[in-house]
Chain A
Amino acid sequence: GNSVTQMEGPVTLSEEAFLTINCTYTATGYPSLFWYVQYPGEGLQLLLKATKADDKGSNKGFEATYRKETTSFHLEKGSVQVSDSAVYFCALMDSSYKLIFGSGTRLLVRP
């Protein structure tokens, strides 16, 4: 079945460090891919998305590229801030419009 695997956390970085959170997927067909973010005490928010191979989603300095050949959608940011501390979820949307999430990666950015 369809599934998403992302790196375990927590990921702890100093402010202005480079961030990579790995995400790989297993799916039939060509799913749309997403990154959601969950700030403490808040609901999930869509961070970025890509709907076809080689698409790059970007938002708030975060980027991820849909790599069909490696079935990956890694999240990157060049310079993290303390305010980026949150839990990040990679997800795919299957052919029945169901979102399938990874287990989440907690990011902690220290000043």
Chain B
Amino acid sequence: EAGVVQSPRYKIIEKKQPVAFWCNPISGHNTLYWYLQNLGQGPELLIRYENEEAVDDSQLPKDRFSAERLKGVDSTLKIQPAELGDSAVYLCASSSNPLVTYNEQFFGPGTRLTVL
């Protein structure tokens, strides 16, 4: 079974440019998460989707970040315009049903963004 797929794996851009990251969750997983991982830190949740609906986007900086999951399957996270401080790893994860007491989140390999 394929895991969570993310692309690209690496991205280098200049500040003020736009950038987009793509994630395809494990087949059948209704819940999709985007996390931000700064160097030397643990991941921090940016947004959680249940199917097409963003149910927790309280940590998403909405002035420059946006996300979509139009058909409830794959998802795109966008930054426009990028700033130097956005350099980090962007992780995508998915799970089958968060309403179960515990439901494992499976993580993709991440996209490492460098903003110059």
Contacts and interface: CB of A to CB of B under 8 A. Distances in A.
Interface string B85-108: 000000101000011011111011
Interface residues of A, number: 22
A103 B107 contact: no
Nearest to A49: B102
- The range of chain B's interface size is 20 to 34
Contacts, number: 49
A74 B91 CA distance: 25
Main secondary structure on A side of the interface with B: strand
A104 B89 CA distance: 14
B109 A43 contact: yes
A103 B102 CA distance: 22
A91 B42 contact: yes
28 contacts: A4-B42, A32-B102, A41-B109, A43-B3, A43-B4, A43-B108, A43-B109, A44-B91, A44-B93, A45-B107, A49-B102, A49-B104, A51-B101, A89-B42, A89-B43, A93-B102, A96-B56, A97-B48, A97-B98, A98-B45, A99-B43, A99-B105, A101-B42, A101-B43, A102-B42, A103-B41, A103-B42, A104-B41
